[in-house]
Amino acid sequence: MAFDEAAIRRHMLVTPGAMAAADERTIAGGTERAVLIRRAARAITRVLRSRYAKQPTVILCGPGHNGADGISVAEMLIEAGWPVEVVLLDENQDLSDRLGVLSRVRPSGTFSPRAGMLVIDALFGAGLSRLLEGEALMLIERLELSQATCLAIDLPSGLDGQTGEIRGAAPYADATVTFHRLKPGHLLGHGPERCGKVFLADIGIEAEEDDAGALHNHPDLWRHLLRPSKRDTHKYEKGHVTALGGPGLKGGAGRLAARAAAVSGAGAVTYLTPLSSAEFAAASFDAVMVAPFHGPDSVTDLTYKRGGACVFGPGMGHGDAAKEALLAVLETEIPCVLDADALTLFEKKPGELFEKLHPNCVLTPHEGEFSRLFGEMEGSKLERACKAAKKAGAVVLLKGSTTVIAGDGLPLVNSNGSAALATAGAGDVLAGLIAGFLAQGMAAAEAAAAGAYIHADAASGQGPGLEAEALPPLIASVLKNLVAPTH
Ligand SMILES: NC(=O)C1=CN([C@@H]2O[C@H](COP(=O)(O)OP(=O)(O)OC[C@H]3O[C@@H](n4cnc5c(N)ncnc54)[C@H](O)[C@@H]3O)[C@@H](O)[C@H]2O)[C@H](O)CC1
Ligand SMILES: [K+]
Q: What is the 3-state secondary structure (H, E, C) of 322-371?
A: HHHHHHHHHHHCCCEEECCHHHHCCCCCHHHHHCCCCCCEEECCCHHHHH
In the predicted structure, residue 231 carries a pLDDT above the cut 60: no
What pLDDT was estimated at residue 177?
A: 98
Domain containing 181: what range?
Answer: 5-213
Cβ neighbours for 348, distance < 8 A, ≥ 6 positions apart: none
Pocket of ligand 1 (CB under 6 A): 20, 23, 33, 36-37, 40, 62-67, 69, 124-132, 136, 153-154, 179
What pLDDT was estimated at residue 293?
A: 87
Q: Determine, yes or no, domain membership for 487.
A: no
| Cβ–Cβ < 8 Å for 383, 162 | no
Nearest CA residue ID for atom 42, ligand 1: 37
Q: Nearest 5°: phi and psi at 279?
A: -65, -45
Q: Determine, yes or no, domain membership for 41.
A: yes
Q: Is 256 marked within a binding site?
A: no
In the predicted structure, residue 251 carries a pLDDT above the cut 90: no
pTM: 0.94
Q: Determine, yes or no, domain membership for 283.
A: yes
Tally of domains within the chain: 2
Nearest CA residue ID for atom 9, ligand 1: 66
* Stretch 79-99: mean pLDDT: 93
Q: pLDDT category, 240, cuts 50, 70, 90?
A: very high
Do 139 and 265 fall into the same domain?
Answer: no
Kindly state the percentage of the chain with pLDDT values over 90: 76
In the predicted structure, residue 423 carries a pLDDT above the cut 80: yes
Top mutation candidate among 23, 37, 157, 180 for ligand 1, by most atoms within 8 Å of CB: 23
The DSSP-derived string for 251-304 is: HHHHHHHHHHHHTTT-SEEEEEE-HHHHHHHHHH-SSSEEEE--SHHHHHHHHH
Residue 239 vs residue 216, higher pLDDT: 216
Helix (H) or strand (E) holding 39, with range, is helix 33-51
Do 21 and 153 fall into the same domain?
Answer: yes
Helix (H, G, I), strand (E, B) or coil at 191: helix
In the predicted structure, residue 77 carries a pLDDT above the cut 80: yes
Nearest CA residue ID for atom 15, ligand 1: 127
What pLDDT was estimated at residue 1?
A: 57
What pLDDT was estimated at residue 236?
A: 64
In the predicted structure, residue 230 carries a pLDDT above the cut 60: no
Closest ligand to the CA of 33: 1
Do 194 and 285 fall into the same domain?
Answer: no
Report the CATH number at residue 22.
Answer: 3.40.50.10260
What pLDDT was estimated at residue 296?
A: 85
pLDDT in tens, 31-57: 999 999 999 999 999 999 999 999 999
Choosing from 157, 186, 213, the residue where a domain stops is 213
Do 232 and 177 fall into the same domain?
Answer: no
Write the CA distances from 445 to 48, 72, 211, 282, integer angstroms: 38, 43, 20, 32
Do 235 and 96 fall into the same domain?
Answer: no
| Cβ–Cβ < 8 Å for 135, 89 | yes
Q: Determine, yes or no, domain membership for 42.
A: yes
What pLDDT was estimated at residue 487?
A: 56
Do 187 and 238 fall into the same domain?
Answer: no
Number of C-alpha atoms within 13 angstroms, CB side, residue 69? 27
Alpha-carbon distance 363 to 365, whole Å?
6
Q: Determine, yes or no, domain membership for 369.
A: yes
Nearest CA residue ID for atom 27, ligand 1: 128
Write the CA distances from 155 to 190, 320, 375, integer angstroms: 11, 51, 31
The alpha carbon of 127 and the centre of ligand 1 are apart by a number of angstroms equal to: 4
| Cβ–Cβ < 8 Å for 266, 289 | no
Do 19 and 161 fall into the same domain?
Answer: yes
What pLDDT was estimated at residue 388?
A: 98
In the predicted structure, residue 115 carries a pLDDT above the cut 70: yes
Alpha-carbon distance 82 to 63, whole Å?
23
Choosing from 172, 196, 213, the residue where a domain stops is 213
Report the CATH number at residue 460.
Answer: 3.40.1190.20
The alpha carbon of 70 and the centre of ligand 2 are apart by a number of angstroms equal to: 9
Ranking 100-104, 134-138, 206-210, 215-219 by mean pLDDT, the lowest is 206-210
Top mutation candidate among 129, 131, 140, 211 for ligand 1, by most atoms within 8 Å of CB: 129
Closest ligand to the CA of 127: 1
Letter string b/e over residues 124-162, b meaning 16 or more CB atoms within 10 A of that residue's CB = bbbbbeeebeebbbebbbbbbebebbbbbbbbbbbbbbb
* Stretch 92-96: mean pLDDT: 87
Alpha-carbon torsion angle 336, 339, 345, 347, nearest 10: 110
What pLDDT was estimated at residue 432?
A: 97
Nearest CA residue ID for atom 11, ligand 1: 65
pLDDT in tens, 297-314: 888 888 888 889 999 988
What pLDDT was estimated at residue 234?
A: 64
Q: Is 128 marked within a binding site?
A: yes
In the predicted structure, residue 141 carries a pLDDT above the cut 90: yes
Nearest CA residue ID for atom 5, ligand 1: 65
Closest ligand to the CA of 44: 1
Choosing from 213, 242, 263, the residue where a domain stops is 213
Ranking 15-29, 198-212, 248-262 by mean pLDDT, the lowest is 248-262
The alpha carbon of 67 and the centre of ligand 1 are apart by a number of angstroms equal to: 7
What pLDDT was estimated at residue 343?
A: 94
Residue 151: what residue type?
L
* Stretch 160-168: mean pLDDT: 97
Do 171 and 238 fall into the same domain?
Answer: no
Nearest CA residue ID for atom 40, ligand 1: 66
The alpha carbon of 69 and the centre of ligand 1 are apart by a number of angstroms equal to: 10
Do 122 and 137 fall into the same domain?
Answer: yes
Q: Determine, yes or no, domain membership for 393.
A: yes
What number does the ligand 1 atom closest to the CA of 153 have? 41
* Stretch 153-163: mean pLDDT: 97
Q: Is 371 marked within a binding site?
A: no
What is the average pLDDT score of the chain?
93
Top mutation candidate among 66, 73, 178 for ligand 1, by most atoms within 8 Å of CB: 66
Q: Determine, yes or no, domain membership for 275.
A: yes
Q: Determine, yes or no, domain membership for 311.
A: yes
What pLDDT was estimated at residue 438?
A: 97
What pLDDT was estimated at residue 320?
A: 86
Ranking 89-93, 127-131, 456-460 by mean pLDDT, the lowest is 89-93
What pLDDT was estimated at residue 485?
A: 66
Q: pLDDT category, 206, cuts 50, 70, 90?
A: confident
Q: Is 69 marked within a binding site?
A: yes
What pLDDT was estimated at residue 167?
A: 98
Do 67 and 175 fall into the same domain?
Answer: yes
Do 208 and 225 fall into the same domain?
Answer: no
What number does the ligand 1 atom closest to the CA of 179 have? 43
* Stretch 263-281: mean pLDDT: 87
Do 407 and 443 fall into the same domain?
Answer: yes
